[in-house]
Amino acid sequence: MKRSLHGALLVIAWAAACLPPPCNAAEGLVYSPDEIVAATLEHSRDLQAAGKEVDIAGARRKQSGARGLPSIDVTLSAGKYNGLEDSVLGPEFTIPKVEERYYGSIGIRQPLFTGGEVRNSRRSATHAVTAAKEDYRSTAAGLELHALRSYWGWSKAVYSVSALRASVERMDAHAQDMRNLRDAGMATENDVLSTEVLLDETILRLDDAARQVVVARARITFLTGDELPLEAVTRNPAVPEEVVIPSEPDSIVAALTNRPERAAYAAEARAAKALTRATKADYYPKVYLTAFYEQGNPNMNFFPLEDEWNDDVFAGVAVTWNIFASGLTRAEVAEAAARAAQAQLMLDRVEESIALEVREARINLQNAISRVKVNRRMKASAKQNLEVATNLWESGLARHSEVLDAHAQLTNAEYELIAASADLLLAQASLAYAQGQLDSTE
């Protein structure tokens, strides 16, 4: 008997010290869901990596664009040769040896026609940038949902502790009354024992809920990178009386319109198609405008060679055409086409997956709404049932076991209402995520 009372008081004291009750929430440091979400997005290494992927895609787009712009090359060389001899072409004509050679040139090269390679490579890279940005948004939305899950899990645990703490206090008072009645000869030892067993069970539930608070705080620390202060409290998972759920067709249309995952896969499919067209450009000739100015000592374009500086200028059009590559181009085109088809299949799959997520999220929200409504009535009924059972027992018209059942029902009803309320708020967030309306990056 003393152990049960002592254990109850210890748990109550611990909870009072570590977890401010909801009625004193204003005295603590109240954290909102938006604050946890913002801290999570700021700390996330996954989101930072997704941002770098956007930078990588942007750099690749610049590379593809640069391939269609003029390129300027500068060449400088100097050499000294040993073992050269004068070239005798006849009895009266000799080309003297030139043992030192110096050369410098500057040239410009501008693609005129590449069979669509440059244009389609640029388009593919642009779509890749879009895909990377949508992936970034998708990562952010997933992190926001994760943060909300952790926040409302924390809130559920905190307010469950509050409800169970009140139940322990109520049960402890009832256990003390039962001990007094037993000492006065008005209650049996079995009545006292059954009361203390129920008290112990409630203490165990309180202890478990307290541990869940620690776990929930650890999850938030992992997401945000910062320890929550001891005085930190959450908002009460209170929900409005009525929650409106959009129709299934409207939800699916919104999801297919807004979900960044779908937009990312669509952009990747467009990028793959453009890359296929760019690969086919190897079937066609390529035309370049070239021009350069050079100086050499000796200048190899002057004959006979002379040990002096001479310059020359060239401008013209160059045509290259690989007419036979042993099937390499055909194989590269086949690979690009297969990747484009694969990207389209992935887009189709993600659209089907999104539709399934929306349907599941709507059903979960409907279930959560029903649970809250029922649990509200159960709590009101349990309160009234406890009052009636207590009055009947005190009047000798009911058994003590009925009073204990009433206490247990009230504890369960209070706990379940808190859990259902938190689950409803999370179900709302899950539906918003499924519809693509959970995005803090816009």
pLDDT digit string, tens, across residues 55-86: 999 999 999 999 999 999 999 999 888 877 77
Q: From 2.20.200, 1.10.3470, 2.40.50, 3.10.450, which CATH number describes the 70-113+286-320 domain?
A: 2.20.200
Same fold, 2-68+114-285+321-434 and 70-113+286-320: no
What is the per-residue pLDDT across 132-170, written as a single tens digit (0 to 9) for each? 999 999 999 999 999 999 999 999 999 999 889 988 998
Domain ranges, ordered by start, for the chain: 2-68+114-285+321-434, 70-113+286-320
pLDDT average, residue stretch 316-339: 92
Residue 42 neighbours by CB distance under 10 Å: 12
Are the C-beta atoms of residues 378 and 417 closer than 8 Å to each other? yes
Are the C-beta atoms of residues 134 and 263 closer than 8 Å to each other? yes
Across the strands, what pairs with 111? 288
Three-state secondary structure readout of the chain: CHHHHHHHHHHHHHHHHHCCCHHHHHHCEEECHHHHHHHHHHHCHHHHHHHHHHHHHHHHHHHHHHCCCCEEEEEEEEEECCCCCCEEEECCEEECCCCEEEEEEEEEEEEEECCCHHHHHHHHHHHHHHHHHHHHHHHHHHHHHHHHHHHHHHHHHHHHHHHHHHHHHHHHHHHHHHHHHHHCCCCCHHHHHHHHHHHHHHHHHHHHHHHHHHHHHHHHHHHHCCCCCCCEEECCCCCCCCCCCCCHHHHHHHHHHHCHHHHHHHHHHHHHHHHHHHHHHHHCCEEEEEEEEEEEECCCCCCCCCCCCEEEEEEEEEEECCCCCCCHHHHHHHHHHHHHHHHHHHHHHHHHHHHHHHHHHHHHHHHHHHHHHHHHHHHHHHHHHHHHHHHHHHCCCCCHHHHHHHHHHHHHHHHHHHHHHHHHHHHHHHHHHHCCCCCCCC
Q: Which segment of 17-31, 56-70, 299-313 scores lowest on mean pLDDT?
A: 17-31
The answer for residues whose C-beta is within 8 angstroms of residue 11's C-beta and 6 or more apart is: 165, 168, 203, 206, 207, 210
Q: From 1.20.1600.10, 3.30.460.10, 3.40.50.2300, 3.40.640.10, which CATH number describes the 2-68+114-285+321-434 domain?
A: 1.20.1600.10
Measure CA 68 to chain center.
Answer: 36
Are the C-beta atoms of residues 439 and 429 closer than 8 Å to each other? no
Percent of the chain at pLDDT exceeding 70? 93
Is the model's pLDDT at 441 over the cut of 60?
A: no
Q: How confident is the model at residue 3 (pLDDT cuts 50, 70, 90)?
A: very low
pLDDT at 5: 43
Is the model's pLDDT at 278 over the cut of 60?
A: yes
